[in-house]
Structure 1
């Protein structure tokens, strides 16, 4: 049921009944505009695309907080979403009604981020914004997301990844405080993620069989009490075969620095669970001292490059690194497999590279 009536002030009021029995209305200077709006709302009701005009009046922060509390996320993911929303989205968009956020507003925000943050960081913030606004579309708060078509700064090509050298690994390790040196060796020798290294306990290391089990990671530490959580993905749960150099480094480390009462192998200088910020501070000083801009994550890339140089297949490397798919591994490290080009040439050469005379002689036999 819908209607258009002329008001005493000469304006036209359009009204219709939605699926919940409510009667939204809007006034216009011209009857034709009122009819157009009424037709649009009626068509949306029929096609299932209807959005209550009043639903979009809810502010971005109000909706995002309601949405966030409904999600089932890993603890670290939940912390990341909360941090990005609080620090980078609410200050600019928090008080803006959902239906007032425009593509231009989002593009302007992305541009502002680009000035101070790396492209990957900008992409992470934009992803959170995009997820929330797409959820608002699904909840019929807005008709479409204003993030569609927004341009992001280009990410560096995967082929730009250049692994650090063994000399750099050794130099940084030797420049680290004594209680951190084994961590560098283990990181370079297993490819474990930082949080996996920080959460490694003695019972996850089989010194006899020379393996390390990764089935959890350090979530956060509060004082002397560590908290563990599941690995990053299901594929991250893995058993890593390790070389003697890793086992020897762990043995020497534990002899000099006994494990935490919870079994944690790596600790701070005062014997508490190791925080990422503490490790980063020590690493930064060591890296600066030896003249490299490498980060702890470069130990993981180093491990992958060593495995590739040794002839390891992408599928096996995927399992060792705990990647979700071989595609992820190939996209990240495929450019390091340079000998594949020579192998491809050799295969064709062996099949087609027979001299013409030899080929005729071979056929005559």
Structure 2
């Protein structure tokens, strides 16, 4: 079995029955808690989705040309630069924007219940966070929401109300990537990885990326993006050598 398929069986299929048995006190503890599953290492150097800033600009322009609505390119830019989940982004309301701090409060998301109905609910505790937003994008969001009521959604559908993430994928994202000839195999969720990789390349540390993405802890962030920080090791050791040289020179010792 592939590692991902095996993990699905253990965690979801069999795991669901075991968790139910524990909750109903049929068994005392979950015997799967410490089971070690095989990891699918993949190609860690190349398997993370990536888009350049020019690519993102081209995609945003294409989305605008496609729909003629400002909501769509701005939503696309928020997803690719700030990294929220699509359900979090489309749940944002005008009152969630902190324009002075260039950030937005994430504390609700869209989910689907067992009957397939879409509903608005809270995010998990560790996913409540302030989402950083570039000043240039914030200025455009201010223009988009000018005159709106605080409880209005920032991104609205053609017929009003909040954008449905699934509909947006089919109506906007699939057509945008095809028309632009970019990101042709990327899902909307992949744009979250784009935001993380570009933030890391710009100098963001692991704690900042963790907070931006709403990960429970830094371990989850490092498991996905650790290989993107190797050059920082060279910077640190170079700084150590500089400090050594300065200390030895001050003491009159040959630093060679």
- Tell me if TM exceeds 0.5: yes
Distance 2:134 2:252 in 1: 52
Equivalence for 1:284? 174
Equivalence for 1:154? 40
Q: Which residues of structure 1 form unaligned runs of 5+?
A: 1-110
Distance 1:336 1:154, change over 3 A: closer
Distance 1:158 1:206, change over 3 A: same
**Distance apart, 1:286 and its partner CA:** 0.8
Q: Which residues of structure 2 form unaligned runs of 5+?
A: none
Determine if contact 2:93/2:150 at 8 Å carries over to the other structure.
no
Is 1:239 the counterpart of 2:123? The answer is no
**Higher relative contact order structure (alpha carbons within 8 Å, sequence separation ≥ 6):** 2
> Secondary structure of 2:159's partner?
coil
**Distance apart, 1:283 and its partner CA:** 0.3
Determine if contact 1:130/1:145 at 8 Å carries over to the other structure.
no
Distance 2:35 2:120 in 1: 39
Equivalence for 2:200? 308
What are the equivalent positions in structure 2 for 1:179-258 lying under 5 Å apart? 179-220=71-112, 227-231=119-123, 233-254=124-145
Determine if contact 2:94/2:145 at 8 Å carries over to the other structure.
no
Distance 1:202 1:125, change over 3 A: farther
Equivalence for 1:272? 161
Determine if contact 1:186/1:249 at 8 Å carries over to the other structure.
no
Distance 1:324 1:149, change over 3 A: closer
Equivalence for 1:129? 13
State the TM-score, normalizing by the size of structure 2: 0.74
Distance 2:5 2:60 in 1: 28
Distance 1:234 1:140, change over 3 A: closer
Residues 266-325 of structure 1 show CA distances to partners (whole Å, capped at 9, x for unaligned) of 122222332221111120111122222222223322222232223222112212221111
What are the equivalent positions in structure 2 for 1:67-78 lying under 5 Å apart? none
**Distance apart, 1:122 and its partner CA:** 6.6
Determine if contact 2:94/2:151 at 8 Å carries over to the other structure.
no
Number of aligned residues: 236
Distance 2:90 2:202 in 1: 27
Distance 1:165 1:263, change over 3 A: same
Distance 1:130 1:204 in 2: 40
Distance 1:348 1:152 in 2: 38
**Distance apart, 1:235 and its partner CA:** 1.5
Distance 1:266 1:230 in 2: 18
**Distance apart, 1:247 and its partner CA:** 1.0
> Secondary structure of 1:301's partner?
helix
Bigger-Rg structure (1/2): 1
Compare 190-199 and 202-211 and name the one that shifted more: 202-211
Distance 2:60 2:105 in 1: 23
